[in-house]
Amino acid sequence: MDDYLSEKEQIETVKTWIKSNWLSIVSGVGLGFLGLFSWNGYQDYSFNNKLDASLVFQDIFTLLQEDDLTEGKTLLDTLRDDFSDSPYTDYAGLLYASYLLTDALPQRAAEEINYVLNSTDDDYLKLMASWRLARVNVELQKFDEALTLVANKDHQLSANFKELEGDIYFFQGEAQKARDSYLSVLSDPNINMIDVNTLMLKINNLSLELI
């Protein structure tokens, strides 16, 4: 009986950790994931246009770091008006959404990400925006919409989408479906795009729960 209780306590500890840390892992204000943009598309713009847009982007980044979301949004709108074709504009939108998430404003974050999703011509950015919007929809408990966003997994972010599908099922209470999605990541050729240690933590948690 003591062993059983120990396992149950371990399960609850892991589940609590995942739920407590999930949004902070998702929203990550840093530019790490944002840095994985389409370099070919980025190179198509003239040097001067890129430079001007990059300066506005840097100003937005500084304002957001100072938690000035109002002025950050004003500059973001300027960037969208003056440099609508620049990749900096799309990345500024995703960055602004990340800060909205850290301020517990998921609905506004969803609107900003959706703007990027519908305006960008960059296929990779569309994938990134879909991934982020799906995660915010989970925060908003819009699980069906989140699942629709990650339904297509035939691309270079396939591992990220499969793991996210598992997260969605996890928060829906579908333990077996969540575990199946997580396990499918292990054979995915793009597994290097995710944190495998966190993935294994999720798998082990659900394996214990399903015993």
In which residue are the tokens 């938690």 written? 67
- Per the confidence metrics, is the pTM higher than 0.85? no
Closest to 126 measured CA to CA, from 165, 93, 80: 93
Alpha-carbon distances, residue 108 vs 16, 29, 142, 167 (angstroms): 26, 16, 14, 22
Instruction: State pLDDT tens for residues 84-125.
Output: 888 889 999 999 998 998 888 999 999 999 999 999 988 988
Instruction: State pLDDT tens for residues 146-175.
Output: 999 999 999 999 999 999 999 999 999 999
